[in-house]
A and B are shown apart, each in its own frame.
Chain A
Amino acid sequence: QKEVEQNSGPLSVPEGAIASLNCTYSDRGSQSFFWYRQYSGKSPELIMFIYSNGDKEDGRFTAQLNKASQYVSLLIRDSQPSDSATYLCAVGGGYNFNKFYFGSGTKLNVKP
């Protein structure tokens, strides 16, 4: 079982819609959760992080964490074509406190 699982996609949504990206993790002791965006041929860039159960909003982005279900999600409201990228979920601070595990990413296509 992989430490972090994501649906590889592609997830296609029309411009202006809400895109919902999901991630599950295996280490129940994980403490920090991150969403990175990676454009093709570029390096990952941090979009959001969340440490506590519940929702965290930043502009058009909302991260949701449910530690009981070991589930973290990212909602992108009013999706734009420029949001088209691969979104990587990352989880850290678990049984190996220093480690940071990435999912394989979900490719998002926002169609104009």
Chain B
Amino acid sequence: DTAVSQTPKYLVTQMGNDKSIKCEQNLGHDTMYWYKQDSKKFLKIMFSYNNKELIINETVPNRFSPKSPDKAHLNLHINSLELGDSAVYFCASSQDADARTQYFGPGTRLLVL
């Protein structure tokens, strides 16, 4: 049973396109996160939702828009993709919002050409 799943696993697209990444967790957790990991392996938080409510909104371009239809899902939509958006995007979840143990999805490898 997959705890945190993401689709797609790989995404290759052209500059300027709009794309979405989906994340689902079946752990019954209240909090979900999006992280970006760049080529230097630095993992940086982008957004966090707790029970469908946005609680962390880091300084990311407003081309990135998260959406949480329910507490088991957190999707990431990216408009007007740029070369610098190429990275691995990880979804994660935790029991609650007080920064305890997080469980990561397998990652989505995005390559913008």
> Are B102 and A99 interface neighbours, CB within 8 A?
no
Q: Is the CB of A43 within 8 A of B107?
A: yes
B contact face: mostly helix, strand, loop, or mixed: strand
**Contact present for B97 and A98 (CB under 8 Å):** yes
Q: Is the CB of A46 within 8 A of B102?
A: yes
Taking a contact as CB atoms closer than 8 A, the residue among A38, A99, A104 that contacts B99 in the complex is A99
Q: With A102-B42, A104-B41 as given contacts, are A97 and B106 in contact (CB-CB < 8 Å)? A: no
Q: Are B102 and A100 in touch, CB under 8 angstroms?
A: yes
Q: Are A104 and B98 in contact (CB under 8 A)?
A: no
Cβ contact within 8 Å between A97 and B98: yes
CB–CB B56/A44 < 8 A: no
Number of A-B contacts (CB under 8 A): 58
Residue with the greatest number of chain B CB neighbours at <10 A, chosen from A32, A43, A45, A92: A43
Interface residues on B, range: 20 to 34
Partner of B90, one of A32, A43, A105: A43
B103 touches A46 (CB 8 A): yes
Cα distance A107–B98 in the bound complex, in angstroms: 28
Task: Tell me whether A100 and B45 are in contact (CB under 8 A).
Answer: yes
Question: B111 CB to closest chain A CB, in angstroms?
Answer: 14
Pairwise interchain contact A98-B101, C-beta atoms closer than 8 A: no
Q: Is there contact, CB below 8 Å, between B43 and A97?
A: no
Whether, in the assembled complex, B77 has its beta carbon less than 8 Å from a beta carbon of chain A, the answer is no
Chain B residues near A34: list those with CB within 8 A. 101-102
Q: Is there a chain A Cβ closer than 8 Å to B12's Cβ?
A: no
Chain A residues positioned under 8 Å from B102 (CB to CB): 34, 46, 100
Residues of B in contact with A (beta carbons under 8 Å apart): 33, 35, 40-45, 48, 50, 55-56, 90, 97-107
A-B contact pairs, 22 of them (CB 8 A): A34-B101, A38-B41, A42-B106, A42-B107, A43-B90, A43-B106, A43-B107, A44-B43, A45-B104, A46-B101, A46-B103, A49-B100, A93-B98, A97-B99, A98-B97, A98-B99, A99-B56, A100-B99, A104-B41, A104-B42, A105-B41, A105-B43
